[in-house]
Amino acid sequence: MAKVKFNQPSEFCAEMEKDDGDIDRKIVRTTMSYIVSKMSPNIHHVMVLGTYSVAGQLVEVEKYCGDIWRINQEQDDKVMARAKSYIAEIEETAKILNLEIRSGELQD
């Protein structure tokens, strides 16, 4: 399966708008991913992922939001707020297009 990949949620949303009507099963998936840092097991990289399928290709966005260190709650809260705002942007566009929003990630 071919893959179209974006790093910016706004570009992913613009592509979703162009694909409107052709998105398989009218489903868009969003999730947050926490990846343990190779530097320290206490650090987690926070990523937002969005995916959908159209015409035999996978369309996805993967946006790095920052790191959770668990030593500065204010900084961790900023990272989580950023991640939540990216997910909200994707979900708002999907709702406008009457697409169903589900959690998880499509993979090829």
- The CATH number for 69's domain is 3.30.720.90
Domain region containing 16: 2-102
pTM of the model: 0.92
State the pLDDT confidence band at 21, using cuts at 50, 70 and 90.
Answer: very high
Overall number of domains in the chain: 1
* 23 assigned to some structural domain: yes
* 108 assigned to some structural domain: no
* 107 assigned to some structural domain: no
Question: Hey, how many other C-beta atoms are within 10 angstroms of the C-beta on 66?
Answer: 17
pLDDT of 45 reads 97
Residue type, 21: G
What whole-number distance in Å separates Cα of residue 68 and Cα of residue 44? 5
pLDDT of 16 reads 98
In the numeric block, which tokens belong to residue 91? 């979900």
Best CA proximity match to 16, nearest among 82, 91, 88: 91
> Is pLDDT of 88 > 90?
yes
In the numeric block, which tokens belong to residue 96? 């406008």
